[in-house]
Amino acid sequence: MKLLVTGGAGFIGSNFIRHVLQAHPEDRVVNLDKLTYAGNLQNLADVAQDPRYGFVHGDIGDAKLVRDVARGVDAVVNFAAASHVDRSLIEPEEFLKTDVFGVYTLLEAVRELRIPRLLHISTDEVYGSVPQGSSRETDPLRPANPYSASKAGADLLVGAYWQTYRLPVLITRSSNNFGPCQYPEKVVPLFITNALDDQPLPLYGDGRNVRDWLYVLDNCEAIDLVLRRGAEGQIYNIGGGHEVENIVLTRQILRLTGKPETLIRPVKDRPGHDRRYSLDSSKVRQLGWRPRHRFDGALEATVAWYRQHEPWWRPLKSGEFRTYYQQQYGDR
Ligand code: NAD
Ligand code: TDX
């Protein structure tokens, strides 16, 4: 297959490109990425010279460029997004531009060029907070922040292109990912790198919000399966099946980094903070997927990765990032 992967220089996209090149020696991948603060070509340094891989710098909202790079591919896999909830509370515009309008631009290119498949990567956040039970693909969307509302908008648009034009689209909605190359603004790498630096771990609210954790390599396998075996017009939930309160996760990170619980700093809650996400993944399991990594081992491997890759994350921890956090919550 010849794939156009968009947003492939970010966390999940870069892990996915590496997975595809390893698992499918006959495949070729073009990576179109805007290289926002979250995009990092170092994530793909090990495949940069692979003749099956190519990189194009650009925006998924650039209709002409998208048509140029998409021409002749067998499938588009879209990871490109503004992806951090806290940033969407302060600067929603970028989220609407990329996560909604960018997806529209991709849909139009796929329609015009008659590309055989578009897999759009979405999120469990579109279902909103789930007090009990687990979300199924047919459940209503109740997004509660500008990030999840933008992602929900794109999902509805993708669904509309299926209904209206029978465009060959698929969607995956995964739960919270963790693993190598995740930008240290998301809770797992933020808390690991803060702990390694003996810095406080800012735990929002009462620390009892629940997330369902999925190791990024398991997500990549599921996405790959849906890409090759999924049915057109369908949505597939991909949940890790490991639901924990943030305080439990935080203590586990402190144990793995060998740091004291006195580093935990309760701070003001995130506005509109969804209490719990939970996915029913039986549909993707019926395709033959299940997570291969146990949570404890995967978190340990993730901590080891950040220990061993300080030159990767150290430059990302200075300047803009701290200002951003402080801008929002101050020191408390
Ligand atoms: P990320 O922020 O690490 O990476 C996003 C990538 O997209 C970056 O490389 C960035 O440069 C690129 N990008 C941003 N705007 C672009 C644009 N306009 N044109 C081209 N490239 C652009 O994000 P991630 O965590 O890897 O998430 C990837 C996808 O998975 C997103 O769609 C996100 O909504 C979804 N998702 C993430 C998680 C998670 O836990 N991280 C969970 C569920 C779903
Ligand atoms: O400093 C923090 N303190 C804290 O308590 C941060 C950054 C987060 N948290 C809490 C908020 C959440 O309950 O930890 C939990 C996880 O937060 P994030 O890492 O920001 O992830 P979340 O908001 O759950 O969204 C993530 O999962 C779904 C990704 O960022 C999205 O891209 C994905 O769609």
Mean pLDDT on 125-129: 98
Phi-psi region of 72 (alpha: psi -120 to 50; beta: other; left: phi over 0): left
* Helix, coil or strand: residue 63: helix
Find, among 279, 236, 233, 242, the residue nearest to 121 by Cα. Answer: 236
The tens digit of pLDDT for each residue in 216-226 reads: 999 999 999 99
Q: What's the gap in Å between 327 CA and the centre of ligand 2?
A: 17
Q: Compute the distance from residue 125 Cα to the ligand 2 centre, in Å.
A: 10
Q: Which residues of 92-113 are buried (b: 16+ CB within 10 A; e: fewer)?
A: beebbebbbbbbbbbbebbeee
- Identify the residue whose C-alpha is closest to ligand 1 atom 36: 123
177: helix, strand or coil: strand
The residue whose two tokens read 């015009």 is: 112
Co-location of 204 and 315 in the same domain: yes
62-74: average pLDDT: 98
Rounded to whole angstroms, the Cα distance separating 162 from 309 reads 42
Residue 213, ligand 1, Cβ within 6 A: no
Q: Is 244 in the pocket of ligand 1 (CB under 6 A)?
A: no
Structural tokens at position 12? 């999940």
Q: Tell me if 282 is assigned to some domain.
A: no
Residues 167 and 28 in one domain: yes
Are 10 and 144 found together in one domain? yes
pLDDT of the residue at 332: 46
pLDDT value of position 319:
52
Q: In the predicted model, is pLDDT for residue 54 greater than 90?
A: yes
Does 50 share its domain with 155? yes
For all residues of the chain together, what is the average pLDDT? Answer: 96
Query: What is the per-residue pLDDT across 69-101, written as a single tens digit (0 to 9) for each?
Result: 999 999 999 999 999 999 999 999 999 999 999
- Give the nearest ligand 2 atom to 203 CA: 5
Is residue 284 assigned to a domain?
no
Count up the domains in the chain and report the number.
2
pLDDT at 318: 73
Query: Percentage of the chain surpassing pLDDT 70?
Result: 96
Q: Is 91 left (phi over 0), alpha (psi -120 to 50) or beta?
A: beta
* For the CA of 119, the nearest ligand: 1
Report CA(121)–ligand 1 centroid distance (Å). Answer: 9
Task: Label residue 270 exposed, middle or buried (CB < 10 Å: 0-12, 13-18, 19+).
Answer: middle
| Residues 61 and 170 reside in one and the same domain | yes
CATH of the domain at 314: 3.90.25.10
Q: Which atom of ligand 1 is nearest to the CA of 35?
A: 11
Does the beta carbon of 95 lie inside 6 Å of ligand 1?
no
CATH code of 130's domain: 3.40.50.720
User: Looking at the annotation, which residues are catalytic?
Assistant: 124-125, 147
Answer whether residue 281 is part of any domain.
no
Same domain, 73 and 101: yes
253-292, pLDDT tens digit by residue?
999 999 999 999 999 999 999 999 999 999 999 999 999 9
Same domain, 93 and 145: yes
Task: Report how far ligand 2's centroid is from the alpha carbon of 32 (Å).
Answer: 26
Beta strands 53-57 and 210-215, pairing class: unpaired
Q: What band does 323 get if pLDDT is binned at 50, 70 and 90?
A: very low
Separation of alpha carbons 43 and 41, rounded Å: 5
Q: What pLDDT, on a 0 to 100 scale, did the predictor assign at position 327?
A: 61
The tokens for 14 are: 């870069």
CA distance 39 to 34: 7
Same domain, 258 and 117: no
**pLDDT tens figures, 208-264:** 999 999 999 999 999 999 999 999 999 999 999 999 999 999 999 999 999 999 999
Residue 219 structural domain: 2-177+214-238
Mean pLDDT calculated for residue range 135-149: 98
Residues 137 and 203 in one domain: no
